[in-house]
């Protein structure tokens, strides 16, 4: 289903050709929703940038374009505002027809892509032998949302979890556990994840302070990488223990991922070095194999190299990322790769992508994108930590959110003198708590840091998940109160728009397709959150001004259609954020 914006854009492009010739067929007419709705619903700003090219006054250009527009069925007569803006007001009759078509569209007007090619979204990526903490929250939630939107649009998405399951840390851990808890290296589930994390911290301390232990740990890494059976068995047990703990978090967040850790790419690292050598871009610097980069310098202003093989012939993250990139292009045959990691890794990925281009690993037909995000901060404006200064475990953060939601719900039930079952309280608390955490993150521009506050994210008013969930539940309460089955409101029924608030709601419902496409392009989930928040506000204004069940026919059925269309839009939009709805709150 073509959106209003797309229809207007096409019509303006046709008018530009009629007005000024074929040379103007590919010019963007700059059709947007109007900033000031007093002048119309949409505006086209193309007359201003054309003024210099055509040597005419922008208002004169706007008049010529209007003469060649064919929008009689869609809009009232276009008007010219300011220095040359073309203002367009959509006809209610056209809105009614478009909304009726939208109501009968199973995908709510969101078009499916054709011949899309595969997409990889690389996100979450915790480290083995460490618990997932608040730092993993944003990558996991943002990556899942981007995946959901691309999947709904019809892309074949491979969700990859590039876990840290290889390298020096395993030499340290295996060496230390041999001394203090050897059963952990031979028996499954000998340790819980908390003990494993504590042992890792102690192993790291020994590694930093004890040169003999450091040497033993390095020898353990060599044995592991060379395929020593005992070392591999111990490594596998440690990985399996961590994976089970990760899965508990992923299940609670309803996140689906396919794991391909750093170890997966270990067999391909040598080929990366050979490929760089063949292209003649590998240089030896202080014993290490490097590729020097354009636009990157150290503090002294000297060219900065990307090290791909250390002086001890070991590999690092950059080598693994290059191997992963090659594999994803050559074996997975995807056309787009999206990396969701914190902003601190922006330089790393810029360097890796540059090297991949130089080495011809990355063809022009494949798009690679780093999706950076900022920090989660406490209400004191500093990085979110426990009172003791420790990084907050993701499990504890989610538990606390659910407890907050439960306390809020129980207080509300008490104030309303309302009795509900324990099952109801548990379900609502879980969904509201998890949804609040997700929405609080996704509703921020991901590039920015944001302040984490349970009180703000669980508020029933404002741009929060509970506000959205409450709007959906309110619509379901209308059906229960009137004993209405939204799916069986009759045949050949139409939406009729009379009140200004229902016209406003109807216009906004038709903008979902444009919003989803914008998120697909920008990879900014907050744009979808902004849309859903505005939709909820417009619905609440409509609900306050327009009686639904007490209206006479055919207005009653029309308003029920608007209610259901709003509920379906909210449910779909929230599902793309990874949020489940509630029939009652």
Per-residue pLDDT, 389: 64
Report the pLDDT value the prediction gives residue 387, as an integer from 0 to 100. Answer: 63
DSSP 127: B
When mean pLDDT is compared across 31-45, 295-309, 376-390, 456-470, the lowest value belongs to: 376-390
pLDDT of residue 386: 64
Report the distance separating Cα 399 and Cα 437, nearest Å: 11
> pLDDT tier at 116 (50, 70, 90 boundaries)?
confident
**Residue 21: Cβ-neighbour burial (10 angstroms; 0-12, 13-18, 19+):** exposed
Three-state secondary-structure class, residue 85:
strand
| Helix/strand/coil for 350 | helix
Mean pLDDT of 494-508: 94
**pLDDT tens readout for residues 216-239:** 998 888 888 788 899 899 899 889
Given a cut of 70, whether residue 380 has pLDDT beyond it is yes
Q: Which pLDDT does position 388 carry in this prediction? A: 61
In the chain, % of residues over pLDDT 90:
72
Q: What is the pLDDT of residue 115?
A: 74
> Over the stretch 81-111, which tens digit does the pLDDT of each residue have?
989 999 999 999 999 999 999 999 999 999 8
How does residue 163 score in pLDDT terms, banded at 50, 70 and 90? very high
Q: For residues 436 and 458, what is the distance between their CA atoms, to the nearest angstrom?
A: 6
Is the predicted pLDDT of residue 39 greater than 90, yes or no?
Answer: no
Query: What value does the mean pLDDT of the chain take?
Result: 92
The pLDDT-based confidence of 197 (bands split at 50, 70, 90) is confident
> Cβ distance 268 to 137 under 8 Å?
no
Q: Which helix (H) or strand (E) covers residue 354, if one does?
A: helix 346-358
What is the tens place of the pLDDT at every residue in 462-477?
999 999 999 999 999 9
- Select from 3.40.50.2020, 3.40.50.2300, 3.30.1490.20, 1.10.730.10 the CATH code of 394-576: 1.10.730.10
Q: Average pLDDT, stretch 388-401?
A: 85
Q: Under a CB-based contact definition with an 8 Å cutoff, are residues 509 and 569 in contact?
A: yes
pLDDT, one tens digit per residue, over 423-457 is 999 999 999 999 999 999 999 999 999 898 888 99
The mean pLDDT of 131-150, rounded to a whole number, is 93
4-90 CATH, one of 3.30.470.10, 3.30.420.40, 3.40.980.10, 3.30.1360.70: 3.30.1360.70
User: What are the boundaries of each domain within the chain?
Assistant: 4-90, 168-259, 394-576
């Amino acid at each position: 289903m073509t959106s209003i914006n797309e229809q207007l854009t096409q019509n303006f492009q046709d008018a530009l050709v009629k007005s000024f010739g074929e040379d103007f067929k590919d010019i963007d007419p700059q059709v947007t929703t109007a900033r000031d709705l007093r002048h119309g619903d949409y505006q086209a700003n193309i007359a201003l940038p054309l003024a210099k090219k055509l040597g005419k006054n922008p208002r004169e250009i706007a008049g010529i374009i209007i003469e060649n527009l064919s929008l009689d069925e869609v809009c009232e007569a276009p008007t010219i505002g300011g220095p040359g803006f073309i203002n367009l007001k959509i006809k209610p009759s056209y809105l009614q027809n478009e909304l009726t078509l939208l109501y009968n569209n199973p995908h709510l007007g969101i078009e499916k892509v054709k011949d899309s090619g595969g997409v990889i979204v690389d996100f979450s990526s915790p480290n083995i032998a460490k618990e997932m903490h608040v730092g993993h929250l944003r990558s996991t939630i943002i990556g899942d949302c981007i995946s959901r939107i691309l999947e709904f649009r019809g892309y074949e998405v491979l969700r990859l979890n590039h876990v840290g399951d290889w390298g020096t840390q395993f030499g340290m851990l295996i060496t230390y556990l041999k001394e203090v808890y050897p059963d952990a290296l031979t028996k499954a589930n000998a340790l819980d994840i908390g003990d494993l994390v504590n042992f890792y911290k102690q192993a790291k301390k020994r590694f930093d302070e004890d040169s003999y232990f450091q040497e033993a740990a390095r020898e353990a890494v060599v044995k592991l990488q060379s395929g020593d059976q005992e070392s591999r068995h111990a490594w596998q047990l440690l990985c399996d223990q961590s994976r089970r703990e990760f899965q508990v978090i992923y299940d609670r967040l309803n996140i689906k991922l396919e794991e391909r850790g750093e170890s997966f790419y270990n067999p391909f690292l040598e080929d990366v070095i050979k490929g760089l050598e063949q292209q003649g871009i590998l240089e030896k610097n202080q014993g290490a194999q490097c590729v020097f980069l354009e636009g990157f310098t150290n503090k002294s202003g000297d060219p900065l190299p990307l090290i791909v093989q250390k002086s001890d012939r070991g590999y690092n993250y950059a080598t693994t990322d290059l191997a992963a990139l090659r594999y994803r292009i050559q074996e997975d045959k995807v056309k787009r790769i999206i990396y969701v990691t914190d902003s601190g890794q922006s330089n790393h990925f810029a360097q890796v992508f540059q090297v991949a281009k130089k080495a011809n690993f990355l063809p022009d037909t494949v798009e690679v994108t780093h999706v950076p995000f900022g920090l989660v901060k406490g209400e004191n404006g500093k990085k979110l930590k426990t009172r003791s200064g420790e990084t907050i475990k993701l499990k504890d953060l989610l538990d606390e959110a659910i407890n907050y939601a439960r306390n809020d719900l129980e207080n509300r039930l008490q104030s309303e003198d309302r009795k509900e079952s324990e099952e109801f309280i548990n379900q609502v608390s879980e969904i509201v708590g998890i949804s609040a955490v997700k929405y609080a993150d996704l509703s921020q521009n991901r590039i920015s840091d944001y302040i984490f506050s349970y009180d703000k994210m669980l508020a029933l008013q404002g741009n929060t998940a509970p506000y959205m969930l409450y709007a959906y539940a309110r619509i379901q309460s209308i059906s229960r109160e009137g004993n209405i089955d939204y799916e069986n409101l009759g045949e050949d029924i139409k939406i009729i728009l009379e009140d200004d608030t229902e016209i406003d709601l109807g216009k906004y419902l038709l903008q979902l397709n444009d919003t989803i496409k914008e998120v697909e392009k920008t990879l900014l989930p907050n744009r979808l959150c902004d849309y859903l928040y505005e939709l909820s506000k417009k619905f609440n204004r409509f609900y306050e001004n327009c009686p639904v069940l007490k209206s006479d026919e055919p207005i009653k059925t029309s308003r029920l259609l608007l209610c259901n269309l709003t509920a379906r839009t909210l449910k779909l939009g929230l599902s793309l954020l990874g949020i489940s709805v509630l029939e009652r709150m």
